[in-house]
Amino acid sequence: MKKKKQFAAEPPTVAELGVNKADLLIQELWGKLREYEDRLTMSSRNSSKSPSSDSPADKAERKKLKRLVAEIRLALNLDIRGTKDR
């Protein structure tokens, strides 16, 4: 079974919507994105889900993300240290 494409049409442009409607749309989509990200990060550690509901793939993905976040923070920290005036 083929998965139905949810966003087949091109997104509207600011010129088509106008600045005010575009800002409202951005705010709405940003809220949805945050909600979806929160749902993706749910696990037995931060919800009422049982530990057995965490798949091995989910656990491995969380480890990868933690490692990536640590690397990004380290890189940003090193980058910021290099820009300070002495």
pLDDT, residue 1, reads 59
Q: Any residues with CB less than 8 A from the CB of 14 and at least 6 apart, and which?
A: 22
Angle in degrees, CA 79, 80, 81, rounded to 5: 90
20-71 pLDDT, tens digit per residue, is 998 898 888 888 888 888 877 777 777 777 777 778 887 788 788 888 888 8
Cα angle value 19/24/26 (rounded, 5°): 90
